[in-house]
Amino acid sequence: MSQRILLIGPPWGDVYGNFKHVAKVGVFYPPLGLCYLKGSLVAGGHQVRVVDGEASGLSLPSILSLVGDYKPDIVGIQVVSPLWETAKMLGAAIRERYGKTILVAGGPHITLTHVESMKEAPAFDYAVLSESEDGMRDLVDAIDGGDASDIDKVAGILYRANGDIRRTQPRTLRPDVDNLHFPDRSDLDHSKYLFSVPGKGIRRFTTIITSRGCPYNCTFCTEPLMYGRTTRFRSALNVVDEVQDFHDRHNINHFIFVDDTLTTRKERIMEMCSLLKERKLDITWEGWTHVNTVSPDLLVEMHDAGLRRLSFGIESGNAEVLHSLKKNSTLPRIREAYKWAKQAGIETRGSVILGLPGDTRATVQETIDFVVNLKECDHAYFNIAMPYPGTEIRAQALAGDKGVRLLTEEYSELRRQGQKVVMEVNDLDTKALLQLQRQAYLRFWLTPRRILYNVVRSGFKAALQNGWAFFRSFVMPSRDGRVRFLSEITDIYEAVSGKVWSATEKNKAA
């Protein structure tokens, strides 16, 4: 007997507030984790459907109608911290309308908070923790068998029994990730997932992960808590086989590698590049990595094999704050990595965090100056620091270390963009952090060189799409927002040109 299973990724756009327009062109990725789950469950003989609530434009009522139409035995809901309230409401609504449906939570948030969150969400019958392909399949098989005693034998889950929440023994992470089934993306509308690719314009794309775990100990990151600090690698052949399989079946020409540190093992990436060139696939790709794990020869080889964009974590432009993050990077090394990437012909991105423990107005201004003046960085994203569950930064926030003042412990408020601040630090209150974030975006993106680069390199259509998203996020929200935006623009103009606009001129412009 097989189970009928519906896997739901809740819609997420609204959590970004005014920044959702930028998010939709920058981080609108397919639900890779749910597709991995489907691949495993289908191989086990179960009927599975994946729903991306954001891509499908689904509201809560429409998701409920979908559940009613599909009539699943089991509904799995993917949970990340900013969407915790959404997931709770969705679970409660499904429980109220379809009382017999079994509800399972999974994902980073439930893994990091486990029993605490299960107590807050009585609608969920089970939670699958950490790496879930094997855990979810074992749980479904146990439910399918109908013997309640089998549930306790499933490693790495939470379940309810006699009014209590029980946690089974931890699941050992599988050492060989080559044996995982390829993600089953057959339910997704691939025309919804579009990305601007340097020199190619807007292309359909999908995401791929080639390794799990990260060797670094960054104080702000939750990924090692999900997958461990020992990195487990897929073979180069296994990765390229997946790329070719998806390219051939769906005519997808761009791939985003979502490993935490793509280039941890240089020889594996070199082999992957060699295989991609041998197969002569008409593809481009990009990924994220650490500045310590790249070299000029590696970057040249990656570019020759189709790499068009690479993202590094800058985090801070202040040496002392950067050191406190345990990231094991330095400002000279960051500059060097960006220089090498540009020399190899690779477009570069960077992520930055404002309001870290120990930060002040002066150190944040130093960070902004560093990134704006990092001429080899083509794109930058300035995030407000968030104390995610299980991280060292959350422990610092709860303890009030390094000048941190935690404003709320609500997980649903953990949004790096979208006018949300959950912790102030030293002389950085909420207003100051949001103003500095806006200043950072405006100073960076309105640099003449970057405007010209993005129009020429991205192509007119992509530049128009990205510019419109920027405009809607920063200018359109309100009259006050437009006045503030234009005031900031003229401040930047004055700084660059030396010409001072009068208050009357600014008001007329607004």
Residue type, 373: N
Q: Which two tokens stand for residue 498?
A: 């030396």
Q: DSSP assignment, residue 428?
A: B
Bridge pairing between strands 126-128 and 102-106: parallel
In the chain, where the domains are located = 4-167, 193-477
Question: CA-based Rg of the chain, rounded to a whole angstrom?
Answer: 23
Whole-structure pTM value: 0.88
Helix (H) or strand (E) holding 6, with range, is strand 4-9
Distance CA 9, CA 55 (A): 10
- The beta strands (E) that lie in 68-219 are given as 74-78, 102-106, 126-128, 157-161, 164-167, 194-197, 201-208, 211-212
Distance CA 122, CA 200 (A): 48
The crossing angle, in degrees rounded to 10, of helices 460-474 and 448-458 is 130
Q: What is the pLDDT along the chain (510 residues), one digit of tens a residue?
A: 789 999 999 988 776 666 655 555 556 899 999 999 999 999 999 999 999 999 998 988 999 999 999 999 999 999 998 889 999 999 999 999 999 999 999 999 999 998 999 999 999 999 999 899 999 999 999 998 877 678 999 999 999 998 899 999 999 999 999 999 999 999 999 999 999 898 888 899 999 999 999 989 999 998 877 887 789 999 999 999 999 999 999 999 999 999 999 999 999 999 999 999 999 998 999 999 999 999 999 999 999 999 999 999 999 999 999 999 999 999 999 999 999 999 999 999 999 999 999 999 999 999 999 999 999 999 999 999 999 999 999 999 999 999 999 999 988 777 767 667 999 999 999 999 999 998 999 999 888 888 888 777 666 565 566 665 555 555 555 444 444 444 444 444 344 444 444 444 444 444
Q: C-alpha 134: how far from its chain's center?
A: 23
Residue 75 forms beta bridges with which residues?
6, 103
- For 213, 217, 317, 320, 334, the CA distances from 326, given in Å and listed in that order, are 16, 6, 14, 11, 15
CATH number of the domain located at residue range(s) 4-167 in this protein = 3.40.50.2300
Bridge pairing between strands 164-167 and 157-161: antiparallel
Distance CA 385, CA 395 (A): 14
Q: Could you write out the DSSP letters of every residue in 235-285?
A: -HHHHHHHHHHHHHHH---EEEE--SSTTSSHHHHHHHHHHHHHHT---EE
Q: DSSP assignment, residue 169?
A: P
What b/e readout covers 493-508, taking b as 16+ CB neighbours within 10 angstroms? Answer: eeeeeeeebeeeeeee
Closest residue by Cα to residue 42 from 186, 246, 158, 224: 186
CATH number of the domain located at residue range(s) 193-477 in this protein = 3.80.30.20
Distance CA 293, CA 506 (A): 47
